[in-house]
Amino acid sequence: MFTGIDEVDWATLRHAHGSAEDVPGRLRALASPDAAERATALDGMYGAVHHQGRVYDSTLACVPFLFALAAREDVPDRGGIVELLVSIGGLGDIDGTGDIGGTGGVGGVGGVGGVGDIGGTGGVGGTGGTGDIGGTRVGDLGGIGRESGEEGGRDRRAREAVRAGAASFVRLATDPEPAVRRAAAGAVVRFLDEPPRVLELLRQRLRGERDDCVLLALTEALGLFAHRYPAHADAAVALLAEQSGPSSSPALRLAALGQLALRAPGRLPAGLVPTAVRLLRERSARRVLAPEHRGPDTLVGRIRRLRPSDEEGAALLRTLHSALGDRVDERLALLAGQLTSPDPVDRCNAAWMSAVLFRGWRGDHSGVVRLLGAQLGTEEDRLRDAAVSVLAELFALAAPAADDLHALVATRPDLWTHRWERCPPTLGGPLKALARSGDHRAVPVLAQLLAGPAAPVGLGLEVAHLGRAAIPLAPALRHRLGRIPLASPSAARLAAPLLTAVRATGDADAVPELLRLLSDTPGGARARDAVVGQVIETLTDLGAAAQARPLLRRLLDTRHAAVAAGALWSADGDVSAVLPVLVRELTRADPVARQHAVRALGSMGPAARAALPGLRGLARSGPAHERVPAACALWRVTADPGLVRPVLRAAWAEAPRTRVPVARCLLMMGPAAAPLRDLLTSELAAGHRHLTGGEGAYGSHDIPADEELVRLCREVLAAL
């Protein structure tokens, strides 16, 4: 199986970490009788030769030897080798649907809180901390979107090399080892370009297969076949319909229903959601949990340990959720069924799947949120932690679960903080979720933490979500702010969250502590430079900028000139003192300086007319996130919508993340915003969230930003 391996000039080939001289050793180790050596070798293949799904010249050179290894029945763990071959051949270029689910290999780790379900068929995916539940589909990190240049050429050659070995996958589909048959099922569909032969093979394997996991893989392969070969889809759909009947096991019926929902929704039975919930519970009643994976501490091993304890069930329901797509009410009903299952593993899977729905779609999620709250009283740590992590990302939408969050916080002081190894403590998930929901019952516990010797990092950021309900915390926040060592390298890091909290509570008594942060203490100015702008803005919000006049004037020749000039304007209204500074700052290369200048000029209104040429220039060119504030400032200076409305309309379509500031500007414009009414009505009619990247890419504040957009749209329309 290694014939010719020494004839390859591996020293001239490359992988992710340089020379490929070590690749022959890795290939030979894949056939080692020692399990640890095999696992380490597979780990090395993903870590170097197929790093993050990429293809190198050494990857191409490995393909013949991987096929030879996969063909030898005396080589253990060949399922992983087949998965590696499938991943090298590329998945997403063939299956463009982004299906959720799959069988076999290790997928990318994703999901809220860093724990996600594992999706996709094939090799190890990259870690996607903000990816959707299920992480990045394996292989998508490789050949997708890289169809140009040398790298794209290698991807094409890799697909061709794996496709050239398609006959090997046909033989492997009947291999004695179930893991090999499971991985080969989808590979036959992806790489053998003979639809009638492929369909007949799948039909035969369905009739003769006895392993449940392989049957599920064959069912998914049928769905992929129907997608890839529409002219032959009817026969595949008929087989799926047969698999969904009462003679099949609950798991196989669920798998078939998911594929039918994806490929032929017209063939689905009535009452899909109740049927799916019933089948899930029947399956769970029969299920025997797989033993926890024990093996070498490799990348592959670590990712496998992060899989859900019932990976198969997670994949089945993910596929169904994916197929239902924008049918939000049905997905909510399905989640409700999952979250009321007697099996805590089903409920844990549902918690992560609910996060996918929340981030992708608007709607009345309160019922599912309440059910998530009901999971907080469980003794199952994994389930409780999953529910907490999801609730913490919902902010105000978590309010229906606030009673359960408060009960957990009240009974489990050990969860108030969380300490990572060698890191300072952070706020614990339950308390964070309670504070983010805006519930005042978080205040007494936060007060205890603030009174302690080491308040959790970032606590002030969570206090800010309580708004004026956090006013009782103001003295403790001031005290913390006043104790920050001014010359410490960590001064800015410690101050920033506290400044956010002070600003949210409107604590005017904190002015002395704020002025202290602006002082010229020897050795401290550089340490605090990163929060100077934040301090000035806080002083301005508190109406205390006048008390900082001397300090602000000294900043007019620094990188903080724009924000300092804006604060001086709020204090004195002296146009001659600040307008030249702000006009100058509009031309700065620093986008942050320009942003502060635009904001300050807008606050000046008609007094800033001398800055109109610069504002018009910014409104007409540059990125949307700069054009929008400039257009809003133009409105405040001129009250002329002529240039403003086209800029706002264009940015709305071009950059969805500008929609919140656009909506704020429209609210300020009042009746003059009427010609843009269509943008607002279309937004409110859309069920999809536009600020979260859908059910994929995700930021921790995306859901509240989208909820604010909806609120602003309603307010603007009400004012027109």
Give pLDDT, residue 622: 87
More confident site: 519 or 277: 277
Beta pairing, strands 14-15 & 417-418: unpaired
More confident site: 126 or 31: 31
Render pLDDT for 171-221 as a digit per residue (tens, 0 to 9): 999 999 999 999 999 999 999 999 999 999 999 999 999 999 999 999 999
Asked if pLDDT for residue 683 goes beyond 50, the answer is yes
What is the mean pLDDT of the segment spanning 60-89? Answer: 95
SS3 19: strand
Asked if pLDDT for residue 538 goes beyond 70, the answer is yes
Residues 6+ apart with CB under 8 A from 499: 460, 481, 514, 531, 534, 535, 538
pLDDT level of residue 1 (50, 70, 90 thresholds): confident
Give pLDDT, residue 153: 82
Asked if pLDDT for residue 627 goes beyond 60, the answer is yes
Asked if pLDDT for residue 432 goes beyond 90, the answer is yes
* Region of poorest pLDDT, from 535-544, 634-643, 687-696: 687-696
* Exposed/middle/buried for residue 439 (C-beta within 10 Å: 0-12, 13-18, 19+): buried
Alpha-carbon separation of residue 347 from 81, 308, 339, 368 (angstroms): 33, 11, 5, 11
Enumerate the β-bridge partners of residue 457. Answer: 426
For residue 720, what are its two tokens? 């027109």
Render pLDDT for 41-58 as a digit per residue (tens, 0 to 9): 999 999 999 998 899 999
Asked if pLDDT for residue 93 goes beyond 90, the answer is no
Spatial CA neighbour of 60 closest among 31, 105, 20:
20
pLDDT level of residue 487 (50, 70, 90 thresholds): confident
Region of 590 on the Ramachandran plot (φ > 0 left; ψ -120 to 50 alpha; else beta): beta
| Phi and psi, residue 361, nearest 5° | -135, 140
pLDDT level of residue 457 (50, 70, 90 thresholds): confident
Asked if pLDDT for residue 296 goes beyond 80, the answer is no
SS3 163: helix
Give pLDDT, residue 512: 96
Give pLDDT, residue 405: 98
Asked if pLDDT for residue 156 goes beyond 60, the answer is yes
Give pLDDT, residue 598: 97
User: Which secondary structure element, helix H or strand E, spans residue 15, and what is its range?
Assistant: strand 14-15
Enumerate the β-bridge partners of residue 361. Answer: 688
pLDDT level of residue 644 (50, 70, 90 thresholds): very high
The answer to whether 132 touches 111, Cβ cutoff 8 Å, is yes
pLDDT level of residue 523 (50, 70, 90 thresholds): low
Tokens 């070590």 sit on residue: 22
Angle (CA) 75-80-86 rounded to 5° is 120
Rounded Cα distance, 307 and 302, in Å: 9
* Mean pLDDT (the chain, rounded): 87
Render pLDDT for 343-388 as a digit per residue (tens, 0 to 9): 999 999 999 999 999 999 999 999 999 999 999 999 999 999 999 9
The one-character DSSP state at 16 is T
Asked if pLDDT for residue 588 goes beyond 80, the answer is yes
Asked if pLDDT for residue 585 goes beyond 50, the answer is yes
Asked if pLDDT for residue 584 goes beyond 90, the answer is yes
Give pLDDT, residue 453: 84
Asked if pLDDT for residue 286 goes beyond 90, the answer is no
Rounded Cα distance, 283 and 148, in Å: 46
Give the CA dihedral 330, 340, 260, 166, nearest 10 degrees: 130
Ordered DSSP codes for 536-597: HHHHHHTT-GGGGHHHHHHGGGSTTHHHHHHHHHHHH--HHHHHHHHHHHTT-S-HHHHHHH
The one-character DSSP state at 456 is P
Task: Give the number of other CB atoms < 10 A from CB of residue 275.
Answer: 16
CA 138 to chain centroid, in Å, comes to 16
Rounded Cα distance, 469 and 448, in Å: 16
Percentage of the chain modeled with pLDDT above 70: 87
Percentage of the chain modeled with pLDDT above 90: 79
Give pLDDT, residue 135: 30
Give pLDDT, residue 537: 96
Asked if pLDDT for residue 394 goes beyond 80, the answer is yes
The answer to whether 355 touches 335, Cβ cutoff 8 Å, is no
Asked if pLDDT for residue 132 goes beyond 80, the answer is no
Give pLDDT, residue 141: 29
Spatial CA neighbour of 100 closest among 690, 695, 699, 694:
695
Per residue, what are the HEC states of 424-439?
Answer: CCEECHHHHHHHHCCC
